[in-house]
Amino acid sequence: MIKEFVCIVCPNSCRLTVSEENGEITVSGNECNRGVEYGLSEYCNPRRMLTTTVAISGAVLPRLPVISTAEIPKNKLKRCLEQLYSTAVTAPVQSGDIVLRDICRTGVDIAASRSIYRKNDRESDEEAGR
């Protein structure tokens, strides 16, 4: 089997070819060893950071942006997104707060990527001139 990838480790964007023959996997097209690591990872176990939003109640905004604390196996992203679509949190939330632990048993947590006030706190702050 042969697969092609663009290495995204540095701006060179080398075009990698990963081939598997008789159980041996080889990477070509890389200008450095980091490309080999990237090519093998993309071929054997592609992973991605997950960013999306979840519902938040009692806040100044209707959705809270969230991000995974580590990369998640690509084949589990859809299930993780489905779980997050049915997840709701309550304001206030601080940036970095964990909103979901061990999503879909990946061992990865989901954290808030910004802080969001409670609706009334923001209005109180504005009224008080803070």
**Contact flag: residue 32 with ligand SF4 (CB under 6 A):** yes
Among 12, 19, 87, 113, binds ligand SF4 (CB under 6 A): 12
Nearest to 47 by CA among 88, 99, 8, 3: 8
Asked if 27 and 35 touch (Cβ cutoff 8 Å), the reply is yes
Residue facing ligand SF4 at closest CB distance: 35
Q: How far is the CB of 39 from ligand SF4 (least distance, A)?
A: 8
**Contact flag: residue 7 with ligand SF4 (CB under 6 A):** yes
Asked if 15 and 29 touch (Cβ cutoff 8 Å), the reply is yes
Interaction with ligand SF4 in 35-64: which residues (CB under 6 A)? 35, 38
User: How would you classify the pairing of strands 51-57 and 88-90?
Assistant: parallel
Q: How far is the CB of 38 from ligand SF4 (least distance, A)?
A: 6
Q: Which amino acid is at 73?
A: P
